[in-house]
Amino acid sequence: MSDGGTSTSTTDLSGSRTSEPRIAVFFDLDRTIIEGSSISQFGFAAWRAGIIDLRHAWTEIGRALLFGVIGESKNVADRTVPKLLETIAGHSQAELMELREPLVRAMLDEARPETLRLLRLHARMGRDCYLVSASAIEIVQALADELGFAGAIATEAEVVDGVYTGRLAEPFRHGAEKANAIAELAAAEDYDLSLSFAYSDSYNDLAMLELVGIPVVVNPDRRLAAVAYERGWPVVEFAHPYHRLLQRLRIPLILGAGFLAGRLSRR
């Protein structure tokens, strides 16, 4: 009997043909697959490429950086990603695509080996695995392809004639919208969500975790840890390598220095 994501037929005791349920697995990206924040990495790369002006987006990038170091607080992504989308309005999609390869490499360097082992285990059992993130689909899909996911759910910015408008093409994939997208995918692909898995570290992903039959919290923030304890959900704690923490702190320091230099140069 298959335990995987591909529907198979079996014969029950009465001799009737039955179809086994399809199972999917949904992984959050930031602090679940990777240790830091994909949003802060995108902001850093876009700033270095001249796509983002720190004078207009410093507060939002600062929030993303804070999330990358200590975890997501309420509404960080809600405020940050839409503002970053505004700042790229008028830039070509080709410019962002030039950032994709180095960004994906950086995220692969931050990938948690423990979570990747879980991903490979689910894949070996035939389950379709999806990467779910509020970050840009251009980056998230490329990372999903590199890691062997079946697909990705992420935020899609509107592009007209190859240029970003600063608006969203689809709902912002954060909080309840992650769950809505998963529900739509499950209906289209005939996944049995009552037997499916979801992994996340953040209370903001509570709707996604509640949608599946097997929610697993990974290095949870304080509010999600409390919910997991109350409901008896599995909790896994992975190590935080010291050298990687220092590497993540490097980006805020560089951005801070650049912002300060820009302020001083205008005096």
Catalytic residue numbers? 28, 30
> Is 223 exposed, middle or buried, given 0-12, 13-18 or 19+ CB atoms closer than 10 A?
middle
Interaxial angle between packed helices 38-48 and 54-70, expressed in degrees from 0 to 180 and rounded to the nearest 10? 150
CA angle 100, 154, 258 (to 5 degrees): 50
C-alpha closest to that of 169 among 60, 77, 93: 93
Reading phi first (left if > 0) and then psi (alpha if -120 to 50, else beta), residue 28 is in: beta
The candidate with the shortest Cα–Cα distance to 248, out of 122, 66, 7, is: 66
For the CA atoms of 251, 253, 259, 263, the dihedral, rounded to the nearest 10 degrees, stands at: -170
